[in-house]
């Protein structure tokens, strides 16, 4: 009997050694420096990794070149598109964010010039460009549009220490008039100093913002900062928020290949935090407006995987594209549809860190992803039209969802992709 148990023990140890060797060789063992904050977040074990399927529409392969530099090559069998879509340059110079609106005279997109802080509007039909303000704001970080005349701009403090957040509205009367321009001033109020993240409610009548000092606090208020209510407190300093549905704000720990990520749904009335996903390194998310599907990515050691989490079923489903959630936007008309900028190749590196830091720049094509049918429809490869590549981020749609707007991370130029045929 002792001999029998000794044989069993030897077999178990041998099997464990083989498993560890194979996992290490395949990049399956996570980085040993991955930080754990499970003591603060009472989650269970993360679900098993799901490999994306292949079908007639999409395939993904990993290859290794002769030089020894691993690359994850993502290829898609596009089937020639029947629509001829066109790209249009919106900003002349590097721009900050943007917002699309219906106004007298047609459909417009507004943006802030990165260098000057001036506000511009562009008619999306004629592509005529007009400067609206001449107030100079330097070191602008980002902006969020509430309406065509109201926005929140975040910029580096004059002292270089901290971030100022200003809730602005355009003045009714022109600041001064010329023969060609009626430039307007903007007025408003400052929000609490050192806002690290901000999200707008679906109706854009409230804002949620995070302020980090010794701890992180989350506040809901009116856009001008009044009627402020504390919703959230945490010892964790880095969070990314979104507000996909009136009664729910999402909070995701900032993604890094060296730390485990967590996603919560937070009730906007009670402040109750519901854990949704946990324990994934390099974790970033994007939740659809119905709160039924979550597009998320996680690090694999040499690249990253992209999956769809079905909230109702509580299971991950493979996505038909490999991209980062920051490179996608959900449709509001059909919450099973997402539009994504998808890298043609994914160089071996730590994600999303290397992309955030500018160490890696992607060359994208654009796809329409249907998570219900599990298909991805090719829209356009910008290189075919522009003879240069784009690395898309900060995607947003106009109200009719006729145009997809995005910023090229390579040069911060704002672009529009018409989603209807030009021929």
What single string gives the DSSP state of each residue in 378-411? EEE-HHHHHSS---EEEEEE-TTS-EEEEEETTT
Q: How confident is the model at residue 180 (pLDDT cuts 50, 70, 90)?
A: low
Higher pLDDT, 123 or 76: 123
Has residue 409 been placed in a domain? Answer: yes
Q: How confident is the model at residue 172 (pLDDT cuts 50, 70, 90)?
A: confident
Report the domain count for the chain: 1
Higher pLDDT, 359 or 161: 359
Higher pLDDT, 4 or 83: 83
pTM of the predicted protein model: 0.80
Has residue 61 been placed in a domain? Answer: yes
Whole-angstrom distance, CA of residue 45 vs CA of residue 66: 38
Has residue 7 been placed in a domain? Answer: no
pLDDT at residue 46, rounded to an integer: 34
Give residue 95's domain range: 33-418
pLDDT at residue 182, rounded to an integer: 81
Contacts of 152 (CB under 8 A, 6+ apart): 143, 144, 146, 165, 166, 167, 168, 191, 198, 207, 223
Has residue 352 been placed in a domain? Answer: yes
Has residue 282 been placed in a domain? Answer: yes
Contacts of 12 (CB under 8 A, 6+ apart): none
Whole-angstrom distance, CA of residue 223 vs CA of residue 189: 9
pLDDT at residue 137, rounded to an integer: 82
CATH number where 79 lies = 2.130.10.10
- Per-residue pLDDT tens for 32-60? 333 333 333 433 333 333 333 333 333 33
Q: Return the number of other C-beta atoms located less than 10 Å from residue 136's C-beta.
A: 10
pLDDT at residue 163, rounded to an integer: 84
Of the candidates 333, 335, 280, 279, the residue with the CA atom closest to the CA atom of residue 312: 335
Whole-angstrom distance, CA of residue 166 vs CA of residue 159: 16
Whole-angstrom distance, CA of residue 45 vs CA of residue 42: 10
- Note whether 100 and 107 are within 8 A (CB): yes
Task: Read off the pLDDT of each residue in 202-206 and give the average, rounded to a whole number.
Answer: 97
pLDDT at residue 10, rounded to an integer: 44
Residue keyed to tokens 């998808």: 342
Percent of the chain whose pLDDT exceeds 70: 77
Mean pLDDT, the chain, whole residue set = 82
- Per-residue pLDDT tens for 213-241? 889 999 999 999 999 999 999 999 899 99
**Buried (b) or exposed (e) across 316-334, using 16+ Cβ within 10 A?**
bbbbbbbbbbbbbbbbeee
- Per-residue pLDDT tens for 107-160? 999 999 999 999 999 999 999 999 999 888 888 889 999 999 999 999 887 766
Helix ranges (DSSP H) in 90-245: none
**Highest averaged pLDDT of the listed ranges 138-152, 157-171, 174-188, 283-297:** 283-297
Q: How confident is the model at residue 74 (pLDDT cuts 50, 70, 90)?
A: very low
pLDDT at residue 161, rounded to an integer: 72
Has residue 205 been placed in a domain? Answer: yes
pLDDT at residue 158, rounded to an integer: 72
Task: Read off the pLDDT of each residue in 336-345 and give the average, rounded to a whole number.
Answer: 98
């Amino acid at each position: 009997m002792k001999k029998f148990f000794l044989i069993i023990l030897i077999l178990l140890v041998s099997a464990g050694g083989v498993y560890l060797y194979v996992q290490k060789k395949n990049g399956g063992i996570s980085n040993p420096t991955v930080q754990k904050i499970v003591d603060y977040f009472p989650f269970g074990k993360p679900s098993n990794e799901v490999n994306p399927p292949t079908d007639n529409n999409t395939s993904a392969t990993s290859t290794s070149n002769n030089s020894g530099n691993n690359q994850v090559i993502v290829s898609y069998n596009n089937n020639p598109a029947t629509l001829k879509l066109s790209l249009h340059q919106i900003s002349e110079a590097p721009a900050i964010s943007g917002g699309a609106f219906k106004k007298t005279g047609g459909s417009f997109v507004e943006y802030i010039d990165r260098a000057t802080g001036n506000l511009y509007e562009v008619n999306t039909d004629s592509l005529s460009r007009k400067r609206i303000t001449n107030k100079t704001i330097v070191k602008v970080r980002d902006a969020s549009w509430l309406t065509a005349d109201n926005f929140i701009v975040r910029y580096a403090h004059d002292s270089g220490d901290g971030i100022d957040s200003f809730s602005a509205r355009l003045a009714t009367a022109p600041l001064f008039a010329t023969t060609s321009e009626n430039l307007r001033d903007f007025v408003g109020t400052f929000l609490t100093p050192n806002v690290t993240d901000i999200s707008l409610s679906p109706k854009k009548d409230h804002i949620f913002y995070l302020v980090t000092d010794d701890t992180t606090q989350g506040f809901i208020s009116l856009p001008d900062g009044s009627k402020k209510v504390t919703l959230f407190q945490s010892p964790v300093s880095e969070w990314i928020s979104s507000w996909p549905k009136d009664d729910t704000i999402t909070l995701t720990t900032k993604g890094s290949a060296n730390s485990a990520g967590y996603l919560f749904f937070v009730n906007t009335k009670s402040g109750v935090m519901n854990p949704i996903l946990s324990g994934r390194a390099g974790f970033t998310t994007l939740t659809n407006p119905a709160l039924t599907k979550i597009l998320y990515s996680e690090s694999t050691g040499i690249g990253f995987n992209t999956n769809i989490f079905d909230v109702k079923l509580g299971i991950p489903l493979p996505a038909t594209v490999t991209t980062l959630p920051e490179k996608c936007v959900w449709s509001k008309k059909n919450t099973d549809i997402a539009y994504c900028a998808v890298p043609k190749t994914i160089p071996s590196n730590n994600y999303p860190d290397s992309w955030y830091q500018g160490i890696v720049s992607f060359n994208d094509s654009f796809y329409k992803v249907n998570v219900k049918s599990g298909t991805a429809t090719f829209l356009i490869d910008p290189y075919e039209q522009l003879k240069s590549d784009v690395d898309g981020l900060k995607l947003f749609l106009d109200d009719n969802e006729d145009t997809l707007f995005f910023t090229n991370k390579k040069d911060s130029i704002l672009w529009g992709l018409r989603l209807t045929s030009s021929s």
